[in-house]
Every structure is written in C-alpha cells, then in structure tokens.
Amino acid sequence: MTGTLQLAAYGPLDQLDSGLVRRLFARTQEEDEELPRDTRRILGQVRREGDSALFRFAREFDGVELDALEVPRSAWDEALGRLEPSVRESLERAARNIEAFHRAQIPDEVVLEVEPGIRLGRRFVPLATAGVYAPGGRAAYPSSVLMGVVPARAVGVQEVVVCSPPAADGRPSEVVMAAAAIAGATRLFSVGGAGAVGAMAYGTEAIPRCDAVVGPGNRWVVEAKRQVAGEVVIDSPAGPSEVLVLAEEGEASPALLASELVAQAEHDPDAAVVFITPSVALLDRVRDALSEQVRSLPKGEVVEAALATQGALLLAPDRDTMLDFAQTYAAEHLSLCTPSLRGDLDRLTTSGTVFLGETSSVAFGDYMTGANHVLPTAGTARSFSGLSALNFMRSFTWQEISPDAARGLAEPVAILAEAEGLPGHAAAARMRGGGA
C-alpha cells in the first residue's frame, strides 16, 4: 500500500475472508435499538402536539428559538438575489435538465379492449401535495432541493412543501432557500430531522399534510420515513452514499477511476466505495492514484475514514465474476468502464443508476444531467427504484362494459360468485345479463 492509506479490503476477491465479503455486501451500520424507539416517540409527539412539538424540537435539537416555522417567500427571493451568479446559473441549468427528463417519464394513459365491448383504462394523475426534505446541519445540499421539487412540479403537483433544518438565524441556509425558489416550491419551513418527516406525513397547524415525503437525510430522517411509509408515499431507503466502479485494462485512466471513489467517499465517513477489475496491473495503478489524490484533498480525513470502513479495491479472477459481483452488490451508483458497455448494461439490472464510460462521471449525475440523485443504497436497489416522476403520481383504472358484453359476462361471473359464496354478486351479474 502506498503511504498510510488504509482500506477495508484489498486484493483477490476469492481470497477475502467470508465475513469481510458479507460486510461489504451488507454495508449497514450497527443496529441502534434506540433509534426506532426514539423516532417513534418524536413522530408521536408531532402527531399529537403539532406545531408546539416542532418549536420544542428546534430548541432541543437545533439550539434555535423560532419565531415562526414558515419562511416567508420574500426571504427566499432575497436569498436568490444574493446568490453568486455562477451558482444561480448552474442551479437553473440543472433544474431545466431535471424537469425535461422527469417530464418525459410521465406515463401515457393505457386503454385496451380485452374482449369485444370490454374497455379498460389506466390513468395517471399527480398527487395533490408533496413534501421534500432538504438536509442541513453539517452541509447544505441545494441540489437535493432541485431533485425533489422539480420532478413534483413537472408532473403537475400543485403544492410542494420543503422542510429544512434552521441555522443559527432560524432559517435554512441561504442556498437552500434560493434553490427552493428556483425549483418552484410553494412553501418552505425551518424544520428538520424526524420531526419534519412527521409534520409532512401527518400535517400540523402550519404544515400541510403531504401525500408523499421524499428526500435524503440522516439516520433519523431515514428511520422516520420508514415509519410513516404506511401512511404516505416515500422514496427509497437512502443511507450513506456508495459507488461501485468496474473497469478493464485500457478502458479508463487510473486517475479518473480513483477520482470516482474519492468523490463519493468525501460525502460521509460511512460511504461505501468499491473498485473491482480482472487486471492486476490496473488494480495496482488505481491504488497508487487513490493514495496520491487522498493526500491532497481538503476533506482527506473523511475520505480516509470511508475507505478504512467500507472501501475496497478488489481483483476478480475474470470479467464474469466481476459482473456477477456487481449484480449482487446492487450499488447506488455503478460506474462501468468496460469494452462492452451496452452489453454489460443489459446484464446488470440491480443498481440505482449506471454511468457508461470513463467520461460519464457520477459527479455529473449528482448535479447536472437531469437524472435523479436520490437513489436506493445498501443493496435495496434490488427492490427499490430511484426517485422519479412516478413517486409524485398515482394511477386508477376505469372499466366500461357494453350491454352485449354484459350479457356474455353475466353467467360466468355468477358461477364464480356462487362458488365463492357471494350470491349478491351473482344476482348483480345476472340482472345485467337479462337473467333473474
């Protein structure tokens, strides 16, 4: 190893300790038995006490005495006016791309005549109100405001509420307020943590009840979203950031490959970053490039902590093993630098989002391409999808049955209804078929 850089795993995949391999795949923190209990308590207080609980949590958790929960629109506009022009231009460009991509995801109505005279349809409509959580605390993420608000507005949601933790002045960060204005949010509240999730899920005197609650956050926010999921739509369980980089010899420079690992590792000490290749020479060069880049980083300590706990540089015995590893790992971000990008994309179906080729950096997707960066982590991409237009829509079906079709359906339906012991159903069918 070059320098003092430590990795959780390094070397041939087939020689790793089985316990270490399981930990790489699990990528979950030690279970905190108090977290679900304490989160449930917070949610219960919000449900029962409404705004008064939120004011109390601001004092207790944020150290702020709030005069009001809602941030007036004039404050957003002032923050937008003070925003550095280059930052504003970049956020506005990102918003345009996000809107275009998510508007294109709106499904068309399905209409089908399954039998003569039996017409069925499925129609998609926007939710009435959506809630977006914007993280605060250690860092502000205006890009996450865009990723939540813009898709909701693109599909036609009329009320889009943003909650973000208050800073010392009692309001969210300037850049979060500016992003809310750019994205088209309708209301903004200085509320953070599990309390914000509860407020959007249940509604309070000030904060409207939302039909969906989305957005990344700390473990309290993630746990709160899990607990309210039976009452409102949520997005995926999103924990610490992660990336899996697959590369073969000659497909990408070691420096670019290492930079993908560094970029995700700087998010969080618990971030998971893994590189796998069938090339011994490439593995060694990426290791050296990674060590060099970490030494020069302002956030080097965060990156080093992530590499030591969930970082791995792995040698696969062959490309099939490398691809099988990726399919099982189910990464939030998958970076492919292989000679058969499209073929490998067809084979790898379990990631949150896939980046094709060395110039397709995850950083571009995090900010500017228009695809959503709120994605499932810790292997949940096997079951969950990333945030999309569909999170802000619901569907219903309609059915139209002609008189002739009703006559043809009546007796078969009556027979099935009687077999299930439902004579009222049978009678309703026969009456429409002309029977007794």
Residues forming the active site: 332-333
The span from the CA of 345 to the CA of 207, in Å, is: 43
Within 8 A by CB and 6+ apart from 373, the residues are 143, 144, 147, 353, 365, 366, 367, 386
The span from the CA of 87 to the CA of 399, in Å, is: 50
Sign, CA dihedral 169-146-264-293, equals negative
Range 79-111 burial, b when 16+ CB lie within 10 A, else e: bbeebeeeebeebeebbebbbebbeeeeeeeee
Q: Are 130 and 392 in contact (CB under 8 A)?
A: yes
N-terminal to C-terminal alpha carbon distance within the chain: 86
The span from the CA of 24 to the CA of 321, in Å, is: 16
| Residue located via tokens 């593995």 | 283
In terms of DSSP bridges, do strands 272-277 and 311-315 run parallel, antiparallel, or are they unpaired? parallel
H-helix or E-strand spanning residue 272: strand 272-277
The span from the CA of 55 to the CA of 186, in Å, is: 22
The span from the CA of 94 to the CA of 151, in Å, is: 12
**Structure tokens belonging to residue 214:** 């989305």
The span from the CA of 258 to the CA of 272, in Å, is: 14
Q: Say whether 302 sits in a helix, a strand or coil.
A: helix
Cα dihedral 31, 37, 42, 43 in deg (nearest 10) = 100
Max CA pair span of the chain: 89
Q: Are 418 and 367 in contact (CB under 8 A)?
A: no
